[in-house]
Structure 1
Amino acid sequence: MLLPIAGPGVVRSDDGRAFAVFEVDDGYRVTDALCPHNKGPLDQGWLRDGSTVVCPWHWYRFDLDTGECDTSPQHVLGVHPVVDVDGVPHADVGGPPAPLSWSERLRAHARGDG
């Protein structure tokens, strides 16, 4: 699924997923909208060194190109490629995730993910 990018902020897919858009020196970077540590809003974070976003809640730092976390390697941020379609940048966010079974939903809820 391709989503047009109009500038920094949040873009949403038709299926309800949200993605954070960051403007960097050589274009745009698109990530999952929420911090994988504790679901902080990354679009409200700070850009550092041109390629790192800092979560506004707990200051976890993520590389916008790889999604790797400098603060805690166990957390990885979803990053999505940006492609040019007729001169307009688009985020390639893939298809919606497969629906979870009831047992998967219950386990996610117990972990605090759902």
Structure 2
Amino acid sequence: MLVPLDPREAPSWTVRAPDGREFAVFRVGDGYRVTDAECPHNKGPLAQGWVRDGETLVCPWHWYRFDLGTGACATTRQYRLGVYPVLERDGTWWADVGEPPEPLSWAERLRAHARRAGS
């Protein structure tokens, strides 16, 4: 699924896909980087974070650091940030955010909850 980035003067902002998912957009050099809108650590608003050296995104809440190219977390390997390819077509910038994930069954939800509670 392609989501238009609607370029702005601000260094970062959020966009919403038609299915309701939100993504953070960062102006980096002469292009853009797109990530999940919330930090995987504690759901901090990543569009309010800052980009260091054009490569590292820092969450504004707890300073978790993520590689904008891979989504790897430099603070702890426990977390990974969703990063998405950006492309330009006919002067319009788009993020390819893929299709929404399939809904989890109740059993899958309970197992995921138990894994988080046990950490």
Scaled by the length of structure 1, the TM-score of the pair is 0.90
**Could you list the runs of 5+ residues in structure 1 that have no partner in the other structure?**
none
Deviation at 1:22, TM superposition (A): 0.3
Aligned to 2:4: 4
Separation (CA, whole Å) in 2 of partners of 1:107 and 1:86: 45
Between the aligned partners of 1:109 and 1:68, the Cα distance in structure 2 is 22
Alpha-carbon distance in structure 2 between the residues aligned to 1:2 and 1:73? 29
The match for 1:101 among 105, 109, 116 is 105
Once the two structures are superposed, residues 71-107 of structure 1 have per-residue CA deviations (whole angstroms, 9 ceiling, x without a partner) of: 1122111100001122111000001111111111233
Alignment correspondent of 2:45: 41
Question: How many pairs does the alignment contain?
Answer: 112
Code of the aligned partner of 1:41: P
- Structure 2 residue 24 is the aligned partner of structure 1 residue 20: yes
CA distance in 2 between partners of 1:32 and 1:25 (Å): 20
Query: Are 1:84 and 2:84 an aligned pair?
Result: no
**TM-score, normalised on structure 2?**
0.87
- Once the two structures are overlaid, the 10-residue window that deviates more, 103-112 or 45-54, is 103-112
Percentage of matched positions with identical amino acids:
69
C-alpha distance in structure 2 between counterparts of 1:76 and 1:26, whole Å:
25
Aligned-pair CA distance for 1:20? 0.4
Which consecutive unaligned segments of at least 5 residues does structure 2 have?
Answer: none
Q: Following superposition, which runs of at least 4 residues in structure 1 exceed 4 angstroms of deviation?
A: none
Deviates more, 1:60-69 or 1:100-109: 100-109
Root-mean-square deviation (Å): 1.4
Farther-moved stretch of structure 1 (102-111 vs 49-58): 102-111
- Partner in structure 2 of residue 29 of structure 1: 33
